Structure 1
Amino acid sequence: MAEVHLIGQIASARGFPDNSLFCKFGIHMGNTWNVISGLTEGQTQVDHCEHEDAAYWSHPIDVHFGSKGLQGWPKIHLQVWHKDQFGRNELYGYGFCHVPSTPGMHTVECPTWSPSGTFWEQISQNFLGGSVQLRHPDLVYSGADRYRLHTVARGTVSLQLGVIFRGFSEFGVEY
Protein backbone atom coordinates (compact mmCIF):
# COMPACT_ATOMS: atom_id res chain seq x y z
CA MET A 1 0.00 0.00 0.00
CA ALA A 2 1.30 3.48 -0.89
CA GLU A 3 1.32 5.94 1.99
CA VAL A 4 1.17 9.73 2.30
CA HIS A 5 1.98 11.48 5.55
CA LEU A 6 0.75 15.07 5.80
CA ILE A 7 2.33 17.21 8.52
CA GLY A 8 1.81 20.94 8.75
CA GLN A 9 -0.42 23.73 9.92
CA ILE A 10 -3.23 26.08 9.03
CA ALA A 11 -1.06 29.14 9.49
CA SER A 12 -3.08 32.31 8.92
CA ALA A 13 -5.79 34.19 7.01
CA ARG A 14 -5.70 37.57 5.29
CA GLY A 15 -8.10 39.82 3.42
CA PHE A 16 -11.30 39.26 5.39
CA PRO A 17 -13.55 42.22 6.29
CA ASP A 18 -13.22 41.84 10.09
CA ASN A 19 -10.98 40.20 12.64
CA SER A 20 -11.96 37.62 15.32
CA LEU A 21 -11.73 34.76 12.84
CA PHE A 22 -11.62 30.99 13.23
CA CYS A 23 -11.44 28.19 10.69
CA LYS A 24 -13.20 24.83 10.44
CA PHE A 25 -11.45 22.33 8.20
CA GLY A 26 -11.83 18.82 6.88
CA ILE A 27 -9.92 16.50 4.58
CA HIS A 28 -11.90 14.67 1.90
CA MET A 29 -10.49 11.77 -0.09
CA GLY A 30 -11.66 9.15 -2.56
CA ASN A 31 -12.81 5.59 -1.87
CA THR A 32 -9.37 4.04 -2.48
CA TRP A 33 -7.89 6.07 0.38
CA ASN A 34 -8.04 5.33 4.09
CA VAL A 35 -6.79 7.14 7.18
CA ILE A 36 -4.14 5.21 9.07
CA SER A 37 -3.82 7.77 11.87
CA GLY A 38 -4.66 11.38 12.63
CA LEU A 39 -7.73 13.59 12.54
CA THR A 40 -9.34 14.58 9.24
CA GLU A 41 -11.43 17.45 10.61
CA GLY A 42 -11.15 20.12 13.26
CA GLN A 43 -11.38 23.77 14.19
CA THR A 44 -8.85 26.45 15.07
CA GLN A 45 -9.09 28.88 17.94
CA VAL A 46 -10.51 32.39 17.48
CA ASP A 47 -7.80 34.96 16.80
CA HIS A 48 -8.79 38.50 17.69
CA CYS A 49 -6.03 40.75 16.39
CA GLU A 50 -6.97 44.44 16.63
CA HIS A 51 -3.97 46.00 14.90
CA GLU A 52 -3.43 43.76 11.89
CA ASP A 53 -5.54 42.63 8.96
CA ALA A 54 -4.61 38.97 9.51
CA ALA A 55 -5.60 36.11 11.81
CA TYR A 56 -2.84 33.79 13.01
CA TRP A 57 -3.82 30.26 14.01
CA SER A 58 -0.83 27.90 13.60
CA HIS A 59 -3.25 24.99 14.00
CA PRO A 60 -1.48 21.63 13.50
CA ILE A 61 -2.40 19.05 10.87
CA ASP A 62 -0.94 15.54 11.15
CA VAL A 63 -2.62 12.81 9.08
CA HIS A 64 -1.27 9.53 7.72
CA PHE A 65 -3.05 8.10 4.64
CA GLY A 66 -2.85 4.77 2.86
CA SER A 67 -4.01 4.16 -0.69
CA LYS A 68 -4.15 1.54 -3.41
CA GLY A 69 -4.50 4.13 -6.18
CA LEU A 70 -4.02 7.79 -6.95
CA GLN A 71 -7.65 8.48 -7.83
CA GLY A 72 -9.42 10.63 -5.24
CA TRP A 73 -6.28 12.46 -4.05
CA PRO A 74 -6.98 14.20 -0.70
CA LYS A 75 -8.38 17.74 -0.61
CA ILE A 76 -8.55 20.14 2.32
CA HIS A 77 -11.80 22.09 2.57
CA LEU A 78 -12.11 25.17 4.76
CA GLN A 79 -14.77 27.37 6.27
CA VAL A 80 -13.67 30.72 7.73
CA TRP A 81 -15.98 32.10 10.41
CA HIS A 82 -16.19 35.42 12.25
CA LYS A 83 -17.21 35.67 15.91
CA ASP A 84 -18.88 39.03 16.56
CA GLN A 85 -18.98 41.03 19.81
CA PHE A 86 -22.20 39.30 20.87
CA GLY A 87 -20.71 35.80 20.47
CA ARG A 88 -22.58 35.02 17.25
CA ASN A 89 -20.78 33.12 14.48
CA GLU A 90 -21.00 34.37 10.91
CA LEU A 91 -19.67 32.42 7.92
CA TYR A 92 -17.18 34.49 5.93
CA GLY A 93 -16.02 32.05 3.29
CA TYR A 94 -15.56 28.58 1.85
CA GLY A 95 -12.45 27.25 0.13
CA PHE A 96 -10.60 24.10 -0.78
CA CYS A 97 -7.19 23.06 -2.05
CA HIS A 98 -5.56 19.79 -3.03
CA VAL A 99 -2.88 18.29 -0.84
CA PRO A 100 0.38 18.83 -2.78
CA SER A 101 1.25 15.83 -4.94
CA THR A 102 5.02 16.09 -4.54
CA PRO A 103 7.02 15.37 -1.39
CA GLY A 104 8.58 18.22 0.55
CA MET A 105 7.53 21.44 2.29
CA HIS A 106 4.85 23.53 0.59
CA THR A 107 3.12 26.84 1.31
CA VAL A 108 -0.41 26.67 -0.08
CA GLU A 109 -2.54 29.79 -0.46
CA CYS A 110 -6.21 28.81 -0.47
CA PRO A 111 -8.58 31.49 -1.82
CA THR A 112 -12.04 31.61 -0.26
CA TRP A 113 -15.45 32.75 -1.47
CA SER A 114 -18.95 33.10 -0.13
CA PRO A 115 -22.36 32.79 -1.82
CA SER A 116 -23.68 36.24 -2.72
CA GLY A 117 -27.35 35.44 -2.08
CA THR A 118 -30.40 37.19 -3.44
CA PHE A 119 -31.02 40.93 -3.23
CA TRP A 120 -33.23 40.50 -0.15
CA GLU A 121 -30.69 38.24 1.56
CA GLN A 122 -28.02 40.89 1.01
CA ILE A 123 -30.24 43.59 2.54
CA SER A 124 -30.99 41.31 5.49
CA GLN A 125 -27.25 40.72 5.99
CA ASN A 126 -26.54 44.45 6.08
CA PHE A 127 -29.17 45.20 8.73
CA LEU A 128 -29.45 42.01 10.77
CA GLY A 129 -26.07 40.32 10.26
CA GLY A 130 -25.64 36.67 9.47
CA SER A 131 -24.52 35.20 6.20
CA VAL A 132 -25.73 33.09 3.31
CA GLN A 133 -24.67 29.45 3.69
CA LEU A 134 -24.71 26.46 1.36
CA ARG A 135 -27.38 23.83 1.95
CA HIS A 136 -24.92 21.14 0.90
CA PRO A 137 -21.38 22.11 2.01
CA ASP A 138 -19.88 19.22 0.02
CA LEU A 139 -20.38 21.40 -3.11
CA VAL A 140 -17.23 23.22 -2.05
CA TYR A 141 -14.92 20.31 -2.93
CA SER A 142 -17.09 18.10 -5.18
CA GLY A 143 -17.62 20.64 -7.94
CA ALA A 144 -20.86 18.98 -9.08
CA ASP A 145 -23.05 22.09 -9.35
CA ARG A 146 -20.56 24.70 -8.17
CA TYR A 147 -20.67 26.46 -11.54
CA ARG A 148 -24.27 27.53 -10.79
CA LEU A 149 -23.33 29.47 -7.67
CA HIS A 150 -23.08 33.26 -7.60
CA THR A 151 -20.19 34.07 -5.31
CA VAL A 152 -18.15 36.90 -3.87
CA ALA A 153 -14.38 36.59 -3.42
CA ARG A 154 -13.17 36.70 0.18
CA GLY A 155 -9.74 36.42 1.79
CA THR A 156 -6.99 33.85 1.59
CA VAL A 157 -6.00 31.12 4.05
CA SER A 158 -2.33 30.15 4.19
CA LEU A 159 -1.34 26.54 4.92
CA GLN A 160 2.17 25.19 5.46
CA LEU A 161 2.24 21.50 4.56
CA GLY A 162 4.97 18.90 4.63
CA VAL A 163 4.26 15.85 2.46
CA ILE A 164 6.07 12.52 2.85
CA PHE A 165 5.60 9.59 0.43
CA ARG A 166 6.27 5.93 1.16
CA GLY A 167 5.87 2.90 -1.07
CA PHE A 168 4.92 4.75 -4.28
CA SER A 169 7.78 3.26 -6.32
CA GLU A 170 6.34 -0.22 -5.72
CA PHE A 171 3.22 0.91 -7.62
CA GLY A 172 5.20 2.47 -10.49
CA VAL A 173 4.63 6.08 -9.43
CA GLU A 174 7.65 8.32 -9.96
CA TYR A 175 7.91 11.73 -8.31
Structure 2
Amino acid sequence: MAVPPPSAPPCPPGEEFELHFIGELEFGCEFPGLSSDDGLFIDYAAEAGSDWLPIARKEGFIGQTQTTYADAEGVYVFNHPLDFHFIADSLAGWPKLHVQVFKLDAAGRVETVAYGSSMLPSMPGHAELTCRTWRPLKTSVMEEARAVSGVLGSDPGSLPAPRADILSDTVPEVRSKMVTKTSGSLCISLDTILRNANKHGVLLQHRRR
Protein backbone atom coordinates (compact mmCIF):
# COMPACT_ATOMS: atom_id res chain seq x y z
CA MET A 1 0.00 0.00 0.00
CA ALA A 2 1.39 3.40 -0.97
CA VAL A 3 2.29 5.70 1.92
CA PRO A 4 2.16 9.48 1.32
CA PRO A 5 5.35 11.41 2.09
CA PRO A 6 5.41 12.64 5.71
CA SER A 7 5.88 16.26 4.65
CA ALA A 8 2.84 16.32 2.35
CA PRO A 9 0.14 18.70 3.67
CA PRO A 10 -2.90 16.78 5.01
CA CYS A 11 -5.38 18.66 2.80
CA PRO A 12 -7.83 17.39 0.19
CA PRO A 13 -6.32 17.40 -3.30
CA GLY A 14 -6.61 20.82 -4.88
CA GLU A 15 -7.14 22.65 -1.58
CA GLU A 16 -3.55 22.98 -0.39
CA PHE A 17 -2.13 26.44 0.25
CA GLU A 18 0.07 27.16 -2.75
CA LEU A 19 2.71 29.84 -3.18
CA HIS A 20 4.40 30.51 -6.51
CA PHE A 21 7.22 32.97 -7.22
CA ILE A 22 8.18 33.74 -10.83
CA GLY A 23 10.77 36.30 -11.83
CA GLU A 24 14.47 36.87 -12.20
CA LEU A 25 17.64 37.78 -10.41
CA GLU A 26 18.29 40.95 -12.39
CA PHE A 27 21.65 42.47 -11.45
CA GLY A 28 24.20 43.18 -8.73
CA CYS A 29 26.15 46.34 -7.94
CA GLU A 30 28.52 48.05 -5.50
CA PHE A 31 30.63 45.00 -4.71
CA PRO A 32 33.97 46.37 -3.48
CA GLY A 33 37.48 45.23 -4.34
CA LEU A 34 36.77 43.80 -7.80
CA SER A 35 38.77 44.47 -10.95
CA SER A 36 37.44 44.72 -14.50
CA ASP A 37 38.74 41.17 -15.12
CA ASP A 38 36.70 39.67 -12.28
CA GLY A 39 33.40 38.01 -13.07
CA LEU A 40 30.59 37.30 -10.61
CA PHE A 41 28.16 34.41 -10.34
CA ILE A 42 25.53 33.59 -7.70
CA ASP A 43 24.63 30.41 -5.89
CA TYR A 44 21.05 30.66 -4.61
CA ALA A 45 18.52 28.58 -2.71
CA ALA A 46 14.90 29.14 -1.68
CA GLU A 47 14.82 27.90 1.93
CA ALA A 48 11.57 27.28 3.81
CA GLY A 49 10.28 25.61 6.97
CA SER A 50 9.67 21.90 7.39
CA ASP A 51 5.96 22.27 6.56
CA TRP A 52 6.73 23.61 3.08
CA LEU A 53 6.96 21.17 0.20
CA PRO A 54 8.78 22.20 -3.01
CA ILE A 55 6.75 21.26 -6.10
CA ALA A 56 8.51 19.30 -8.86
CA ARG A 57 11.92 19.60 -7.19
CA LYS A 58 12.89 16.76 -4.85
CA GLU A 59 16.15 18.50 -3.94
CA GLY A 60 14.49 21.87 -3.32
CA PHE A 61 15.00 25.07 -5.21
CA ILE A 62 18.72 25.59 -5.66
CA GLY A 63 20.61 26.98 -8.62
CA GLN A 64 23.47 29.02 -9.97
CA THR A 65 23.62 31.91 -12.41
CA GLN A 66 26.00 32.32 -15.30
CA THR A 67 29.21 34.32 -14.77
CA THR A 68 28.85 37.95 -15.78
CA TYR A 69 31.19 40.92 -15.93
CA ALA A 70 30.65 44.54 -14.98
CA ASP A 71 29.39 47.02 -17.53
CA ALA A 72 30.70 50.57 -17.86
CA GLU A 73 28.77 51.62 -14.74
CA GLY A 74 30.01 48.73 -12.59
CA VAL A 75 26.73 46.78 -12.77
CA TYR A 76 26.74 42.99 -13.10
CA VAL A 77 23.69 42.01 -15.16
CA PHE A 78 22.43 38.44 -14.65
CA ASN A 79 18.78 38.37 -15.82
CA HIS A 80 18.67 34.83 -14.43
CA PRO A 81 15.17 33.27 -14.22
CA LEU A 82 13.74 32.25 -10.84
CA ASP A 83 10.78 29.91 -10.37
CA PHE A 84 9.84 28.65 -6.87
CA HIS A 85 6.59 26.77 -6.22
CA PHE A 86 5.54 25.49 -2.79
CA ILE A 87 2.56 23.95 -1.03
CA ALA A 88 2.38 24.29 2.74
CA ASP A 89 0.58 23.04 5.82
CA SER A 90 1.73 25.97 7.97
CA LEU A 91 2.87 29.53 7.36
CA ALA A 92 5.74 29.11 9.81
CA GLY A 93 9.10 29.24 8.09
CA TRP A 94 8.00 31.48 5.21
CA PRO A 95 10.43 31.04 2.28
CA LYS A 96 13.63 33.06 2.13
CA LEU A 97 16.12 33.47 -0.67
CA HIS A 98 19.70 32.67 0.34
CA VAL A 99 22.54 33.82 -1.90
CA GLN A 100 26.28 33.36 -2.04
CA VAL A 101 28.20 35.64 -4.39
CA PHE A 102 31.34 34.21 -6.01
CA LYS A 103 34.18 35.90 -7.87
CA LEU A 104 35.92 34.28 -10.83
CA ASP A 105 39.25 35.99 -11.47
CA ALA A 106 41.41 36.07 -14.61
CA ALA A 107 43.44 33.08 -13.39
CA GLY A 108 40.30 30.94 -13.02
CA ARG A 109 40.27 31.05 -9.22
CA VAL A 110 36.91 31.14 -7.43
CA GLU A 111 36.39 32.94 -4.12
CA THR A 112 33.36 33.93 -2.07
CA VAL A 113 32.61 37.66 -2.22
CA ALA A 114 29.50 37.90 -0.04
CA TYR A 115 26.41 36.26 1.43
CA GLY A 116 22.85 37.50 1.72
CA SER A 117 19.31 36.58 2.67
CA SER A 118 15.97 38.12 1.74
CA MET A 119 12.44 37.22 2.81
CA LEU A 120 10.33 36.41 -0.25
CA PRO A 121 7.12 38.46 -0.74
CA SER A 122 4.07 37.61 1.36
CA MET A 123 1.60 39.57 -0.80
CA PRO A 124 0.41 38.67 -4.29
CA GLY A 125 1.50 40.79 -7.22
CA HIS A 126 4.75 42.24 -8.47
CA ALA A 127 7.65 43.19 -6.20
CA GLU A 128 11.17 44.56 -6.66
CA LEU A 129 13.47 43.25 -3.93
CA THR A 130 16.91 44.43 -2.87
CA CYS A 131 19.05 41.78 -1.19
CA ARG A 132 21.91 43.47 0.66
CA THR A 133 24.92 41.28 1.25
CA TRP A 134 27.80 40.99 3.69
CA ARG A 135 31.10 39.21 3.87
CA PRO A 136 32.79 37.59 6.89
CA LEU A 137 36.01 39.07 8.26
CA LYS A 138 38.68 37.29 10.23
CA THR A 139 39.12 37.95 13.93
CA SER A 140 42.30 39.96 13.52
CA VAL A 141 43.85 42.33 10.99
CA MET A 142 46.67 39.84 10.37
CA GLU A 143 44.28 36.95 9.66
CA GLU A 144 42.23 39.17 7.36
CA ALA A 145 45.31 40.22 5.39
CA ARG A 146 46.44 36.60 5.03
CA ALA A 147 42.99 35.46 3.93
CA VAL A 148 42.61 38.22 1.34
CA SER A 149 46.07 37.49 -0.07
CA GLY A 150 45.35 33.76 -0.24
CA VAL A 151 48.13 32.82 2.18
CA LEU A 152 45.84 30.53 4.16
CA GLY A 153 45.07 28.50 1.06
CA SER A 154 41.29 28.54 1.54
CA ASP A 155 38.29 30.59 0.51
CA PRO A 156 38.48 33.83 2.54
CA GLY A 157 34.68 33.88 2.68
CA SER A 158 34.29 30.50 4.36
CA LEU A 159 31.73 30.23 7.16
CA PRO A 160 32.09 28.55 10.59
CA ALA A 161 28.77 26.71 10.10
CA PRO A 162 26.57 25.56 7.18
CA ARG A 163 25.39 28.45 5.00
CA ALA A 164 21.69 27.68 5.47
CA ASP A 165 22.05 27.70 9.26
CA ILE A 166 23.88 31.03 9.28
CA LEU A 167 21.47 32.77 6.88
CA SER A 168 18.39 31.31 8.59
CA ASP A 169 19.59 32.47 12.04
CA THR A 170 19.27 28.96 13.47
CA VAL A 171 22.72 29.15 15.06
CA PRO A 172 22.70 32.56 16.80
CA GLU A 173 25.53 31.49 19.09
CA VAL A 174 27.76 31.16 16.01
CA ARG A 175 26.45 34.18 14.12
CA SER A 176 26.90 36.50 17.11
CA LYS A 177 30.63 35.75 17.19
CA MET A 178 31.19 36.50 13.52
CA VAL A 179 32.73 39.77 12.38
CA THR A 180 31.25 40.93 9.07
CA LYS A 181 31.36 43.85 6.65
CA THR A 182 28.66 45.13 4.31
CA SER A 183 29.09 44.33 0.64
CA GLY A 184 27.09 44.86 -2.56
CA SER A 185 23.42 44.48 -3.37
CA LEU A 186 21.38 42.21 -5.63
CA CYS A 187 18.16 43.35 -7.29
CA ILE A 188 15.44 40.75 -7.77
CA SER A 189 12.13 41.04 -9.63
CA LEU A 190 9.34 38.66 -8.59
CA ASP A 191 5.66 38.06 -9.25
CA THR A 192 3.91 36.27 -6.37
CA ILE A 193 0.84 34.07 -6.81
CA LEU A 194 -1.15 32.65 -3.89
CA ARG A 195 -3.77 29.90 -4.22
CA ASN A 196 -6.34 28.78 -1.62
CA ALA A 197 -5.09 31.47 0.77
CA ASN A 198 -8.56 32.18 2.16
CA LYS A 199 -9.16 28.49 2.90
CA HIS A 200 -6.15 28.54 5.23
CA GLY A 201 -6.99 31.73 7.13
CA VAL A 202 -4.62 33.96 5.18
CA LEU A 203 -6.05 37.47 5.04
CA LEU A 204 -4.81 39.51 2.11
CA GLN A 205 -4.67 43.30 1.96
CA HIS A 206 -4.67 45.23 -1.28
CA ARG A 207 -1.52 47.21 -1.92
CA ARG A 208 -1.95 50.93 -2.05
CA ARG A 209 -0.77 52.62 -5.22
* Structure 1 position 62, deviation (Å): 0.9
TM-score by length of 2: 0.79
CA contact (8 A) 1:37 1:65 kept: no
Match of 1:69 in 2: 90
* Structure 1 position 37, deviation (Å): 2.7
Q: Secondary structure at the match of 1:63?
A: strand
What is the aligned counterpart of 1:85 among 73, 88, 106? 106
* Structure 1 position 143, deviation (Å): 4.5
Assess, with a 3 A threshold, how the Cα gap between structure 1 residues 158 and 37 changes in structure 2: closer, same or farther: same
Determine if the alignment matches structure 1 residue 128 to structure 2 residue 188: no
* Structure 1 position 141, deviation (Å): 2.0
Between the aligned residues of both structures, percent identity stands at 31
Match of 1:10 in 2: 25
* Structure 2 counterparts to residues 14-163 of structure 1, below 5 A: 14-17=29-32, 18=34, 19-37=38-56, 40-49=61-70, 51-118=72-139, 119-128=141-150, 130-136=155-161, 137-138=163-164, 139-145=166-172, 146-163=175-192
CA contact (8 A) 1:16 1:154 kept: yes
> For residues 124-165 of structure 1, what are the alpha-carbon distances to aligned partners after superposition, in whole Å with 9 as ceiling and x for unaligned?
134337523103212122353223211010000111111000
User: As a proportion of its length, which structure holds more strand?
Assistant: 1
Q: What are structure 2's unaligned runs of at least 5 residues? A: 1-15, 205-209
CA contact (8 A) 2:21 2:192 kept: yes
Q: Which moved more, 1:124-133 or 1:59-68?
A: 124-133
CA distance in 1, matches of 2:191, 2:26: 13
* Structure 1 position 49, deviation (Å): 2.5
CA distance in 1, matches of 2:177, 2:160: 14
* Structure 1 position 93, deviation (Å): 0.4
CA distance in 2, matches of 1:153, 1:23: 17
Q: CA RMSD in A?
A: 1.6
CA contact (8 A) 1:37 1:63 kept: no
Structure 1 segments of 4+ aligned residues over 6 angstroms from their partners: none
CA distance in 1, matches of 2:46, 2:113: 19
> For residues 56-81 of structure 1, what are the alpha-carbon distances to aligned partners after superposition, in whole Å with 9 as ceiling and x for unaligned?
10111112110111111001000011
CA distance in 2, matches of 1:46, 1:92: 13
CA distance in 2, matches of 1:110, 1:27: 13
Q: Secondary structure at the match of 1:125?
A: helix
How many residue pairs are counted as aligned between the two chains?
A: 175
* Structure 1 position 48, deviation (Å): 1.5
Q: Secondary structure at the match of 1:10?
A: strand
TM-score by length of 1: 0.93
Q: Which moved more, 1:51-60 or 1:154-163?
A: 51-60
Q: Which amino acid aligns with 1:29?
A: A
Q: Which amino acid aligns with 1:27?
A: A
